[in-house]
Amino acid sequence: MRAAILLALAGSALVIAAAVLLASSRPLDLSARARAIESTLRCPTCQATSVADSPAQAARQIRQVVEQQVRDGRTDEQIRGFFADRYGTWILLDPPTTGPDIVVWILPAVVVVGGVIVLVRHARHARQANHDSGTADLATRQGGPRLAESAVFGAMVLALLAPIPAALGLRPAGAPASGGAPSTTPTIAQLEAWVAADPSDARILTQLGDALLGAGDLPEAASRYRAALTVDPAADAPKLGLAAILIESGRPDVAVTLLDGILGTNGASADALFMRMVANQQLFGRADARVRADAARFLEVAAGDDVRRTTVESLLAASDANQSSAASASPGSPAP
Amino acid sequence: MLVQLARRAPQGLAVVGILYQDTAENAQRFVDEFGVPYATLLDPQGTAAIDYGLTGIPETFFIDRTGMIRAHQVGVLSQADIDAKLRTIAGP
C-alpha cells in the first residue's frame, strides 16, 4: 500500500515536472524564434543594424509586433512578409532570391567569374606574346608585366567585392552585427545599460547620443542629448549634438541660435565654430562674412592635427576665389 | 507649410498628422503654439508607423480617395514637393 502511494506520488511528480518543463520551454522557443526573425529585419531608422540589435524605439516597436505575431502562430515567412509588404524588401537583411533582389546574390558571383575570365585571357595573351617573340627574355619583359597587371586586376576585383555585403547591410547568419573585431568604443547596447544603471550621468547620456547620431538614429540621439541637458543644462557637448541634428534636419537657423549660446560663453570652441560655419554656409553661402569669420577663427583655435582644417582651408580658398572673380567681373564704381 | 495647406485645403483634401515618438502633452503644446488646424492622432505603440513603413521623421504620405498611397516624402517638404505630390492624388 505504502509502495503504491509512493509510486502514485512519484507519478504525479513526474507529470508535474513534465508540465512545468513544457510550460517553460514553450515561451523560450517562441522567444528564440522571435529573436531569430528580428535578426533578419533591418532597423528602419538605423544604418545596417538589425531590429534585434538596435536600441532604437522603432526597432523596439517592431520587436513587439514580431513577438505578438509569433504568439499568434504566424510562420516566419508570414511575419517577414508582413514587414516587407509595408517597408519594401529592403527591410529584409537577406533579400529574397527572386525578382529584382536577386542581383544582390548574383552580382558578387558575376564579378568573380568576370575577374577570372579576364585573368585567364590576360595570361593567354601573355603566353601568345612569348610564343610569337620566340625568346624567353622577351617573355619576361612582355608576359611578366601582363601577368602582374592581371594579378593586380584580380586583387582589385576581390577588394571591391569585400565591401558589398557590408554596404548592403548583409552579414552571414550568426555573425555579430558589429563585425568580429573587438572594439574599445562602447556599443550602443553597453551605453544603454550604463544609462539604465545611472540615468543622471550627463556624460554617458551624451556619449549615447553621439553613438545614436553616428548610427543615424536622429530622434533617439536628440532624446538622449535633451536628457543630458536636463541633468546638466550648462554642458556644451549635448548642445553640439543637438546642433548637428538640427543642421542635418534642415534647420541650420535654429542650430545657429544654439551655437551662438555656446560661443557666447566659450568663444574658442572649435567644434561650435566649425558647426556654426557649416550652418551659416547653408543659410547664406560660403562667401558670407559670418562664414569667413568663423572659418578664420576656427583655424586659429583648432588643434594642428584637426582633420577639419583642410576642409576649412579649402572653403576659405574657394570663397577667396569667388570674391576675386566677382571683383574682376564687376564693372566697378564710377570715380568720384 | 502643412498648416498653410490645411488652412487653404481645396475641396476634398484632408490633412492629418500622426504623432510619433512623442508625448500627447508635447503635441498639445505644439498644436496650441502653432495653431495647427488639422487633426493630430496619437500612435503610442508605433503601429501606424509600422503600417506605413515609416523610416524617419518627418515623413509625409499622399493618399488618394481610394485609400492608396500614391506618393510619399521622407524629410522636409517644400512647396514644390507638395504641389507635385498633390497632383498624384488629384481626382479626375
Give the DSSP letter string of chain B.
Answer: -HHHHHHTPPTT---EEEE-SS-HHHHHHHHHHHT--SEEEE-TTSHHHHHTT--SSSEEEEE-TTS-EEEEEES---HHHHHHHHHHH---
Question: Which of A280, A211, A276 is closest to A240 using CA atoms?
Answer: A276
Q: Which band of pLDDT confidence, cut at 50, 70 and 90, is reported for residue A158? A: very low
Q: Are the C-beta atoms of A70 and A37 separated by less than 8 Å?
A: yes
**By the CB < 8 Å criterion, does B1 face chain A?**
no
The overall average pLDDT reported for chain A is 72
Q: Is the pLDDT of residue A11 over 60?
A: no
d(CA A245, CA A101): 33
> Given the DSSP bridges, would you call strands B69-74 and B59-63 parallel, antiparallel or unpaired?
antiparallel
Task: For residue A246, list chain B residues with Cβ-Cβ distance below 8 A.
Answer: none
Taking alpha carbons only, the member of B3, B41, B46 closest to residue B24 is: B41
The fold for domain A19-91 equals Helicase, Ruva Protein; domain 3 (1.10.8)
A181-206 pLDDT per residue, tens:
333 467 787 788 788 877 888 888 88
pLDDT band, very low/low/confident/very high, at A132 (cuts 50, 70, 90): low
Burial class of B12 by CB neighbour count within 10 A (0 to 12, 13 to 18, 19+): exposed
Nearest CA in chain B to A61: B46
Q: How far is CA B41 from CA A98, B32, B44, in A?
A: 38, 15, 10
A194: contact with B, CB 8 A cutoff? no
Contacts of A148 (CB under 8 A, 6+ apart): none
Q: By the CB < 8 Å criterion, does B44 face chain A? A: no
B48 in reach of chain A (CB within 8 A): no
pLDDT at B16: 92
CATH of domain A188-321: 1.25.40.10
- State whether B47 and A61 contact (CB < 8 Å): yes
Q: What is the ipTM of this complex?
A: 0.78
Q: Do A62 and B55 touch (CB under 8 A)?
A: no
Q: A117, A89, A91, A83: which is closest to A103 by C-alpha?
A: A89
The verdict on a CB contact (< 8 Å) between A45 and B55 is: yes
Nearest to B50 among A61, A218, A223 (CB): A61
Cell 528602419, residue located? A44
How far does B6 lie from chain A, in Å, by closest CA?
22
Calculate helix-pair angle for A308-329, A270-284, nearest 10 degrees: 40
Pairwise CA distance, residues A204 & A212, whole Å: 12
CATH superfamily of B2-89: Glutaredoxin (3.40.30.10)
pLDDT of residue A82: 95
- Inspect the interface and report whether the beta carbons of B55 and A218 lie closer than 8 Å: no
Question: pLDDT category, A28, cuts 50, 70, 90?
Answer: low
Taking CA atoms, what residue in A is nearest to B47? A61
Q: Which of A38, A45, A79, A213 to mutate to test the interface with B (most CBs of B within 10 A)?
A: A45
Q: What are A29-56's pLDDT values in tens digits?
A: 788 999 999 999 999 887 668 999 888 8
Which residues, at least 6 apart from A218, have a Cβ–Cβ distance to it below 8 Å? Answer: A212, A245, A248, A249, B56, B57
Q: Where are the alpha helices (DSSP H) in A249-288?
A: 252-265, 270-284
What's CA A28's distance to the chain center, in Å? 31
Q: Is the pLDDT of residue A133 over 70?
A: no
* pLDDT of the residue at B91: 67
Pull the grid cell for residue A104. Answer: 544582390
For residue A115, name the pLDDT band (cuts at 50, 70, 90).
Answer: low
Contact at CB, A219 and B57, closer than 8 angstroms: yes
Asked whether residue A318 carries a pLDDT value surpassing 60, the answer given is yes
**What does the domain layout of chain B look like in residue ranges?**
2-89
Q: CB neighbours of A207 closer than 8 A, spacing ≥ 6? A: A186, A191
Please give the grid coordinates belonging to residue A221: 540621439
| Cβ contact, residue pair A61, B57, below 8 Å | no
When computed from its CA atoms, the radius of gyration of chain A, rounded to whole angstroms, is 31
Higher-confidence residue: A1 or A309?
A: A309
Name the residue with cell 547653408. Answer: A282
Cell numbers standing for residue B6:
490645411
Say how far apart CA A214 and CA A218 lie, in whole Å.
9
Are A250 and B76 in contact (CB < 8 Å)? yes
Q: What is the pLDDT of residues A233-268, one digit of tens each?
A: 888 888 898 888 888 888 888 889 889 988 988 888
**Predicted pLDDT at A21:** 45
Looking at the partner chain, which of A44, A61, A64 has a beta carbon nearest the beta carbon of B55? A44
The answer to pTM > 0.90 is no
pLDDT in tens, B37-81: 889 999 988 899 999 999 888 889 999 989 999 998 888 888 888
